[in-house]
Amino acid sequence: MTSQTAVPLVVLRSAGTCLAFDTSGEGLPRVLHWGADLPDAALAGLPGLVPGPVPPNALDEPWPLTVLPTSGDGWLGTPGYAAHRAGGAAAPRWDVTAELDGERSLRTTARDGATELVLGHALDEHGVLRVTLSVTNRADPEAAEVLDLGALRALMPLPSRATEVLDLTGRWCRERSPQRSALQDGTHLRASRRGRTGHDATLLLTVGTAGFGFRTGEVWSVHVAWSGNHEHLAERLPEGAGVHSAVLGGGELLEPGELRLGPGETYTAPDVVFVHATDGLDGVSRRLHRSQRSTATHSNDPRPLVLNTWEAVYFDHDLGRLTELADTAAQIGVERFVLDDGWFGSRRDDHSGLGDWVVSTDVWPQGLQPLVEHVKGRGMEFGLWFEPEMVNLDSDLVRAHPDWVLGPKAGHPRPSRQQHVLDLANPEAAAHVEGQISALVSDLGIDFIKWDHNRDLHEAVRTDAGGVDRPAVHAQTAAFYTLLDHLRAAHPDLEIESCSSGGARVDLGVLARTDRIWTSDCNDALERTAIQRWTSLLVPAELMGTHVGPATAHTTHRTLDLSFRLLIALQGHAGLEWDIARCTSEELSALADWSGLYRELRPLLHSGDLVRADLPDDRGLLVTGTVAADGETAAYTVLRTHSGTSVTPGLVALPGLDSTRTYTVRVRREAGLPAVIQHIAPAWWDEALGDGIPVHGALLAGVGLPLPVLGPAQGFLLHLT
């Protein structure tokens, strides 16, 4: 093993985060530090302090944690790299070159015989670490020697003070529910084999100091930017991880035989994103949100107010009814009108037609053009629903190409929602779907696609040229990305929403190619309070679809006040999913006021820093705010999800404010006013309902406001200027 680098100690710094690598000696670079920034003088002494003791019954010398740890380094936990050639074990002895690639990026190239690895550790301007990994089979082409890849994972060290694990789980209509546990010896593994990210995906796996919250504690988080099978893990062995206590990381989950590299072929792993913060989960979110906002893949245009037709008409498409709905939408300030499922082929319900992306002449004898022209004539954009990765067996597509259905030779996998998966890794199938979608976008002038994906992938295998069934999730996910990339290149002004049975495909891989996610199929605003709160760990507000639904939610049958539904929908990219043509005049007036407020506040809500108060769960109070980067303005939703034993809420602080400023505090009526359980309101309330009351920032952030006594499922919006 050899190692070559110009500078033995490599330090990457940004926004209060620091990484230090030792690139001297043999083998891959060693990770000395990932955490808060350290002064140069402290870093200079780090290499001499890091080698730890040698305990009994251990290796004869201290061993380091490398950037890709394996048993050859001394690490006997989950390896960063696993592969074989015709069953021969991989025991690499790397020849390494490590070099700075700019001020904040380390590029490592490692070669062992016919295997070449390239690793990148890049720290962006917001302190977000993005780890890239690839492996190439450099075998002689004439030898036809295949490299079977088992795993390529990014792993980073954790200190001993990181003792608590937070991850997320969920189900359809209840995505991203938090769960906590102690970090103990062994592997805390969250693996997904669903063929998509999953309703139960952890989104972020976070390990932190005891009792960390939204505003407090030191935390380390990881996210795998991939929409297929994947794994996140935190692992602690009794002997530690070199001088460190544990590791945190993840990567794509590969099935046996899924990645077989022929000579000259390269596998590039999904990016793995790591974030460290000393100010709790809000610090993680702030870095991730700012990082996403700084990319060129997302539009800087104001996020238009949306009306989606699904919960208004379902499959009951009718030009007259939909033009009436569009007229009402325009009247209250809607800016984008989206026609959902049911417009194509034989799709009168969810049993047939999926895959036939041709406008149904039965439902639309004049085509969709009259509706599109009407919508655009009222000043709105037009959007259309597709589910390009799925088919019904009862479809013209499957009748013509039964071999395009993904599954084993033995027969179709079990159906789900009466549908099966289209094999997008088949170039003919992918080209067919791309052609149909692209033609409709061009012919109709479609501005927006709601891209759905309504099932997990069971028996996700495809038959190769040799007649062998091979695991196919990697190929399917890559083909999905390619299809998105092609459509975006052909139609650069087209915007796309990632929907997958609601929120089952939420990750930075798909968000690099889309403009927002549909957060959940559940429009019950009370359920949405938790779903949106935890989705926002990763996803900034402007990329998170949040709609006002009907009074009674069709997924829970719960009835909620309009004021509460309006308030919760302001927490993201707002819209409506409701037959507003049947609303009362009072409801339409409230919706018009609310849509005006959304347009007024979206520059703040979609650019500011998210803050979430740490409050006792038994009170049922949630305070979520957005504070402008300069601290001049802020908006807070204050709500109560359920009653508690406390008679009054007491003083509740508003986090994130500038303690040197004086703010004018207003309660915005346009977001709806709550039902309260009190005889006398707090002293500040009436003035805040009018022109506002001046309050010093130090008082708001350090002491707090006495809140009104809210009923369950009630809330209000505070606007600070």
pLDDT at site 561: 98
Residue 472 lies in a domain: no
Query: CB neighbours (10 Å) of residue 197?
Result: 29
- Which regions in the chain score pLDDT beneath 50? 1-6
Between strands 516-518 and 544-548, the pairing is parallel
DSSP secondary structure string for all residues of 513-568: T-SEEE--S---HHHHHHHHHHHTTTS-GGGEEEEE--SB-TTT--B--HHHHHHH
Residues 190 and 173 occupy one common structural domain: yes
Q: What's the domain count of the chain?
A: 3
Over residues 586-597, the pLDDT tens digits come to 999 999 999 999
Residues 603 and 629 occupy one common structural domain: no
Residues 643 and 694 occupy one common structural domain: yes
Cβ neighbors of 9 (< 8 A, separation 6 or more) are: 20, 21, 22, 23, 24, 32, 43, 44, 46, 47
Cα–Cα distance for residue pair 577/580, rounded to 1 Å: 9
The enclosing H or E element of 293 equals helix 280-293
Residues 83 and 215 occupy one common structural domain: yes
Residues of the domain holding 592? 306-389+436-453+495-607
- Respond yes or no: is residue 618 known to be catalytic: no
Residue 178 lies in a domain: yes
Instruction: Say which of 452, 524, 561, 593 is annotated catalytic.
Output: 452
Residues 8 and 88 occupy one common structural domain: yes
Distances (CA, A) of 533 to 120, 285, 611: 32, 11, 10
Query: CB neighbours (10 Å) of residue 266?
Result: 12
Residues 49 and 19 occupy one common structural domain: yes
pLDDT at site 64: 92
Residues 238 and 348 occupy one common structural domain: no
Residue 425 lies in a domain: no
Domain final position from 262, 293, 324: 293
Measured between alpha carbons, how far apart are the two ends of the chain, in Å? 61
Residues 557 and 683 occupy one common structural domain: no
CA 36 from chain centre, in angstroms, equals 25
Domain final position from 579, 607, 635: 607
Residue 481 lies in a domain: no
Distances (CA, A) of 540 to 294, 295, 373: 12, 13, 33
Between strands 147-152 and 259-261, the pairing is antiparallel
Residue 229 lies in a domain: yes
pLDDT at site 89: 84
C-alpha closest to that of 147 among 80, 94, 87: 87
Could you tell me the CATH number of the domain that includes residue 148?
2.70.98.60
Could you tell me the CATH number of the domain that includes residue 588?
3.20.20.70
pLDDT at site 2: 47
Cα–Cα distance for residue pair 544/370, rounded to 1 Å: 30
Instruction: Say which of 521, 561, 593, 609 is annotated catalytic.
Output: 521
Residues 511 and 654 occupy one common structural domain: no
Residue 299 lies in a domain: no
pLDDT at site 466: 87
Query: CB neighbours (10 Å) of residue 287?
Result: 25
Q: Which amino acid is at 313?
A: V
Residues 572 and 589 occupy one common structural domain: yes
Residue 406 lies in a domain: no
Over residues 223-267, the pLDDT tens digits come to 999 999 999 999 999 999 999 999 999 999 999 999 999 999 999
- Respond yes or no: is residue 521 known to be catalytic: yes
Angle between helices 562-569 and 525-535 (to 10 degrees): 10
Q: Is the pTM of this model over 0.85?
A: yes
Could you tell me the CATH number of the domain that includes residue 703?
2.60.40.1180
pLDDT at site 4: 45
Domain final position from 269, 293, 317: 293
Residues 193 and 223 occupy one common structural domain: yes
pLDDT at site 7: 55
pLDDT at site 1: 43
What residues pair up with 714 in beta bridges, in sequence order?
640
Residue 645 lies in a domain: yes
Residues 228 and 314 occupy one common structural domain: no
pLDDT at site 3: 45
